[in-house]
Structure 1
Amino acid sequence: MPKTQHRDEPGQAGRLPAILRVIDRMSDIFAFGAATALVLLAVNVLIDVVGRAFFNTPLHGTLEYTENWWMPALTLLAFAFSEKHQEHIKVTILLDSLPLRMRQLIEGSFGLLTVILLMGLTWYTLSSGLESASYRQTTAGHPPVAIWPFKLLAAIGVAMLTLQIAATTLRQFLGMMPTARSLDTDADIV
């Protein structure tokens, strides 16, 4: 039976450094949080629809919960997981013609730039979240829905994306990016 490659063993590179394994695991945990937000969104909407259709009593605040809690949580917590699996949209027309090492260096350089920009976005999002938390910001609707916790969650999600892109950048520079074949094999393991 042939040995299947695990994501901790991309090609000849051996085991990933501990920090990369920790970041990858954190991305998995955040993806679980995104999945939980998706389930809660579905339950929230289901209760609203059933209440509206059968009891003529909708669940008040469904729109506010959906747009201020569930959608931001499910998108922002899933970004790092998508980056980990390289499932974001990439246009690689120019890169595809380059030798592998040159491509890794170029993608790593752009990764560094992205990390710097995302660190700024994380700082801005955290500042906004802390300001919102200082006065316990809520929606103007009835009932008022607290939105400040999810502004802080947004900062955490962007910070996790920043860490995962930093991990991807390190992999690029070290030549440890998994091949398409190892990613497919890894999906079979899960």
Structure 2
Amino acid sequence: MTGSPEAQTSQTAEKLPLPIRLIDGLSGLSAALAAAGLVLLALNVFLDVLGRTFLHRAIPGTIDMTINWWMPMLALLAFGYTEKMQDHIKVTVLLDSLPIGLRRAIEGVFSLLAAVLLMFLAYYTWVDAARSAKIGETTSSSPPVMIWPFKFVAVAGVIVLSLQLLATAWRNFSGRLPREIDFDVDEAAL
């Protein structure tokens, strides 16, 4: 196949089944929301520093917002996209010596297992978020900062990662990873 990597990626994406394309799109949307969380975090802290420096007055709740709003958005909403791009850290010492077909099968099975475990985690995270919403959970600071809406962000992040792991399992079983991973040991690195 010739052409630019972008052209190859778009040609590959066109051949993907609709559920896989939808999951990939959901992961992209989730990553965009994580990026928005990063911008909001930076803006929140920047305005807080300006207020402290020039007005001698901080924005109330900046630390609580950073801890309970922005950081969960950054961490949890980016996981699905990171999985799609196969950018999670993986220790492949045992897998490196296996034939490529067997390696993909094993990674596919582990992706399925991880997806199932994350579905259980999503359920229990949902239960906690619903309880938190019911009581209108806030921080104990003055003024209090709402926590409960961002617990649903955690649920969304875990669900998107779980779905993306299912897509990764499909890609491993079908041999259609989003970018081909070099399964051979790089001799130059040795």
TM-score normalized with structure 1 length: 0.89
Query: CA offsets, 1:32-53, max 9 Å, x none?
Result: 1000000000010011111111
Does 2:12 match 1:9? yes
Which stretches in structure 2 are left out of the alignment for 5+ residues?
Answer: 183-190
**Residues 28-39 of structure 1: pairs in structure 2 closer than 5 A:** 28-39=28-39
Report the residue type matching 1:51 in the other structure.
Answer: G
Deviations 1:48-93 (A, max 9, x none): 1111111110111000100000000111110101001011000111
Equivalent AA in structure 2 for residue 71 of structure 1: M
Q: Residues 131-182 of structure 1: CA distance to partner in whole angstroms, max 9, x if unpaired?
A: 000111011101111100000111011000000011001111112123148x
AA aligned to 1:175 is: G
Q: CA deviation at 1:7?
A: 5.3
Q: What residue number does 1:89 align with?
A: 89
Structure 2 CA distance for partners of 1:130 and 1:31, relative to 1, 3 Å: same
Q: Counterpart of 1:70?
A: 70
**Structure 1 ranges of 4+ moved more than 2 A:** none
In the TM superposition, residue 109 of structure 1 has moved relative to its aligned partner by: 0.9
Partner of 2:171: 171
Show the 5 A alignment for 1:47-126: 47-126=47-126
Sort the Cα spacing of 1:103 and 1:6 in 2 relative to 1 into closer, same or farther, 3 A. same
The residue matched to 1:97 in structure 2 has which SS? coil
In the superposition, the TM-score normalised over structure 2's length comes to 0.89
Aligned residues: 177
Residue 7 to residue 83, structure 1, CA distance change in 2 (3 Å): farther
CA contact (8 A) 1:8 1:21 kept: no
Alignment RMSD: 1.4
SS at 1:132 equivalent: helix
* Identity among equivalent pairs (%): 48
Tell me how far 1:3 sits from its aligned partner.
2.2
Contact 1:64–1:145 under 8 Å retained in 2: yes
Q: CA offset at residue 96 of structure 1?
A: 1.2
Structure 1 stretches lacking a partner, 5+ long: 182-190
